[in-house]
Chain A
Amino acid sequence: MSVTIDTELALLVDTGTAWTKAGVIGRVRGRWRLVAHAAQPTAWGEEELLRRLVEQLAATADTRLTGRFHELLARATRVECRTAVRPARLVVVAVSRELSGSAARRAAEAAGWHVVEMVTFDDGRTLAERVALLQSTVVDAWLLAGGFDEGRSPRALEAAALVAAARRPGGAPVVWAGSSHLAGEVTALFEDGAATAVGNPRPDARRDEPSELRAHLQALLRRTVAPEDEERLTQVALPRAIGALAAATGFRVLAVDVGASSALRVLAETDGTTHSRVHARGGLAGAALLPGAPGRVSRIEVDAGEEPAVADLLHNLRARPASVPQTAEELAATQAAARLLLASLVEDGAIGQLDLVVGCGRTIAAAPHPGQAMRMLLDGVRPVGVTQLAVDAGALLGPLGSLTEAEISEGLTLLADDLLVPLGTSVVSRGGDPGRVAMRVTVHRAGWPGHGPVEVRTGQVLVVPLPRGHEAELTIELSAGVSLGAARRSPRITATATGGTVGLVLDARGAPIALPRRADDRRAVVASWSDALMREAPPGSERVA
């Protein structure tokens, strides 16, 4: 009598615009574990992806299943998310560039729209040029803004008339986010149902209230790019997974996902509520568009090469998004660009104290060395305070987020061992005098002799080895003028640090990081920071830069 051995598998797939990541979840000694993982350019196709997964399963799984992996994967429960392939295009037409225009643009980009043009009355164009430009632009939505809520601005009405003149009847929807007094007049310029009025993001000169506009634009974007498959969009799924993670752990979590084309930031509160922002041009392809990006990259990364070479590299990231950096210079420049993108991702809106920062996207989560991932997150996000850092190395969070809420929670529990790769804990301080001691940190580990106090000087990064699965109690003494973000009640702060592939990072470089003016000094300082995070050190010793 022959006995057929069977097993149950789940296939989690995260399809990005440039790369697809897939993980196979299977039972290992009664527990659900990640048993195979593959990542490849999306254009290589599903068949190739499955072939790679089968190869891995064949090498590690029960030999009695040999020859059946294709079949097992074909009937595996498939859980997937994907980045919208087509960027949704939007034009902003506003009265002024600095007030109504910039507020509208920020809200649109934070909702995931690609702002292809911005037309304002102070943009230096003639009226004819403005009309001609709008008449030639093909868009998925028009965003109109102008005027404070108390006033009745004729210029704001003129902006609306520009769009009415340039838009085809029955064309893309119009969103009025200007003076509430003008809402009726503006919507009357368009056919019934074409224009919607939402709350003014600049109701007066002193207030910014973009949340209603952003929420409306997010909903409009989902209807535009994926009306039938919204739950599987990464920009919907990842926030759901991060929200569930925050609720399950009681942590305040920030997740940052820098992809090939767009970037996503999710801030989840301890009760599971989330605030997410998609930056349509915030991915690596958008690095070339950041103001002065090549110069900034060569300034913050000594190994990135000269500015002209970095400029070419940044354009090539856009031209060939699925390719990988093959030289050390290109990798350094790519990671420096990711740090800039992260900084721009978190710059609008105060994030406050965080318990956990999660890095997603291949550049961060699949960095060749965990110290590189740690540096991108630390330098880009600057999480002031005591924060755990981890990466979504298996790209599992996005697919999990496409499940129902109960299934997400179950998935987080079942995959606890494989979901995140912890990098360690950071203590990031702000303030202090250059060269002077910023903080003294004593590390207590159960069963180990006390370590320290370790002195960290302003401008210094220091790594204390703390392996994954280990915990340590920290006693932090801050010098005058130095803070960890929150108000200090006592001269000594105690905190718990959990270990990871990098360890405990004591970072007194301030926020934002101040770099020396002289090029030679800058090179030396930046190299020492990188060295501290990358160097392997024997347990019990600290790595100083």
Chain B
Amino acid sequence: MTGVIHSVTLPVGSAPVVAVGARVQPADVLALRRPPTDGVTLQIAAPLRRSASAARECLVARPGSTLQRGDLLASDQHGREVRAPHACLFLGYDPDHGTALLSPLGDEEPIVGHVRGRVTRVTPSAIDVRVAGAMLTGVGGIGSAVHGKLRLAVDDEGDELRAGAIDSEATGRIMVGGSRASAETLTRARAMGVAGMVLGGVLDKDLRDFEATQQRRKEGGGVVVGEFSVLLLEGYGKIGMDPGVFTWLRAHDGKMVSLFGDDARLYVYDATPPPVRRLLPTAGDHVVGTRRPYAGAGGRLVRIFPGLHVASSGPAVRAGLVRFEDGRTGIVPLANLEATEPATRA
């Protein structure tokens, strides 16, 4: 088990249903909540037989408070009362119409953790889970938490994930692509019920086109089923995945994973630790470039130049000579390189 603690944030009004020490699976419910629904108005002045403005003085409940069914909202000295017809949030009083604005609480909804592990802390605002898996972090992503089985969808870390690779077998899976997935691929994946994607890079334009498609579908009344998440490991643009990471993901094809696109994080369960990325490489290290023209390219840092070196764009920076695996040799700022090391078994 890794030392990674994953915190599941609970919205206000949630009630945890797990205790410290509990073992949880990705699909397990960790808490329940009754979400607010759209506002309704409730007459206050009329039952109290007062003018709209005068009835304001009879309010007992404070705006912003949560009321249970039957809780007192307003009363007067004659024993007349107005009570909450159902559990709700009391959000305000309209002195022109003598009505209260209520947001009734809806049916109970589950809050799923999407992670496997052991619960280490439970508070009203969060549940912490020590994750029983290896963690891979990226540089960006979109989408909320999803989980599913990992499925390799390309043969090489530099390959583009094509729409044709998304078939019925991909439903509910987290697909591993290479250097890019087009807007068409992302849209097809979403339509086929793919849970998420792990990519080396993606074009900002493809992501925006995809999001626009989803928005239009929603506005048109179309059904968008389930959540969908994308994790970017290297950056924006057509960027191949680090070969070491790709090999590691390939080795864990079929394993259960949890993907958090917005947090740029992936947990792979029952997995060996992933290759380690380290800043400030030294001569002899295997490195990966992080910026154009070498973004995503792997190679060997042959030597580091003493002092500062003027990069081709002009800045004077610390730089090194890199022999890339694709045959190129280049002088690269050290700030644009990360050393990659084979994982050490935890």
List residues of chain A with CB under 8 Å of any chain B CB: 40-41, 43-45, 48, 52, 55, 126-128, 131-132, 135-136, 138, 154, 157-158, 160-168, 188-189, 294, 308-309, 311-316, 318-320, 322-328, 330-331, 366, 368-369, 372
Contacts and interface: CB of A to CB of B under 8 A. Distances in A.
Contacts of B316: 368
Given A158-B92, A166-B12, A324 B311 contact: yes
7 contacts: A127-B103, A160-B63, A316-B237, A319-B232, A324-B333, A326-B332, A368-B316
Contacts of B335: 40-41, 322-324
Contacts of B336: 323-324, 326
B35 A165 contact: no
A311 B207 CA distance: 11
B64 A316 contact: no
Given A160-B63, A163-B64, A325 B291 contact: yes
Interface string B6-18: 0001011100000
- B contact face: mostly helix, strand, loop, or mixed: loop
B314 A331 contact: yes
A326 B103 contact: no
A166 to B, nearest CB: 6
A326 B313 CA distance: 5
A320 B292 CA distance: 12
A284 B66 CA distance: 43
A43 B92 CA distance: 49
Given A128-B36, A326-B292, A315 B140 contact: yes
A319 B315 contact: no
Nearest to A294: B204
A486 B110 CA distance: 65
A189 B139 contact: no
Given A316-B291, A326-B336, A368 B203 contact: no
A319 B236 CA distance: 8
A127 B40 CA distance: 10
B236 A316 contact: yes
Contact of B315 (A41, A154, A366): A366
A132 B13 CA distance: 10
Contact of B90 (A160, A161, A319): A161
Contacts of A158: 63, 91-92, 101
B237 A324 contact: no
B328 to A, nearest CB: 13
A108 to B, nearest CB: 22
Contacts of B314: 328, 331, 368-369, 372
B100 to A, nearest CB: 10
A135 B291 contact: no
B64 A43 contact: no
Given A44-B280, A294-B204, A320-B290, 19 more contacts: A40-B335, A43-B280, A127-B38, A127-B39, A128-B37, A135-B13, A154-B96, A160-B63, A161-B63, A161-B91, A164-B62, A164-B65, A165-B89, A165-B103, A313-B236, A315-B235, A320-B139, A324-B333, A368-B314
Contacts of B93: 154
Nearest to B279: A43
A154 B92 contact: yes
B216 interface: no
B311 A326 contact: yes
B315 A325 contact: yes
Interface in B291-328: 291-295, 307, 310-318
Given A157-B63, A164-B65, A319 B140 contact: yes
The 5 A-B pairs at the shortest CB distance, nearest first, are namely: A164-B64, A368-B314, A161-B63, A319-B139, A158-B92
Interface in B69-105: 89-96, 101, 103
B91 A368 contact: no
Given A165-B89, A165-B91, A319-B236, A325 B64 contact: no
B215 interface: no
A456 B302 CA distance: 52
B11 A127 contact: no
Most buried by A among B90, B95, B315: B315
Contacts of A162: 64, 91
Contact of B124 (A43, A131, A167, A168): A168
A327 B295 CA distance: 12
B50 interface: no
Contact of A315 (B9, B35, B236): B236
B213 interface: no
Contacts of B36: 127-128, 131-132, 135, 165
A330 B313 contact: yes
Contacts of B63: 157-158, 160-161, 164, 189
A48 B280 contact: yes
Contact of A327 (B12, B203, B292): B292
Interface in B122-155: 124-125, 139-140
Contact of B64 (A136, A161, A312): A161
Given A135-B12, A312-B204, A312-B236, A324 B38 contact: no
B64 A160 contact: yes
A311 B291 contact: no
Contact of B125 (A163, A168, A322, A324): A168
B205 interface: yes
Nearest to B139: A319
Contact of A319 (B65, B125, B235, B332): B235
Contacts of B291: 316, 320, 323-326, 330
A318 B335 CA distance: 15
B205 A327 contact: no
Nearest to B126: A138
A131 B88 CA distance: 12
Contacts of B204: 294, 308, 311-312, 314-315
Contacts of B13: 135
A366 B335 CA distance: 15
B205 A311 contact: yes
B313 A316 contact: no
A262 B192 CA distance: 40
Contacts of B124: 168
A135 B204 CA distance: 30
B103 A316 contact: no
Contacts of B205: 308, 311
A136 B11 contact: yes
A144 to B, nearest CB: 11
Contacts of A314: 204
A157 to B, nearest CB: 6
Most buried by A among B139, B291, B310: B291
Nearest to B141: A319
B290 A308 contact: no
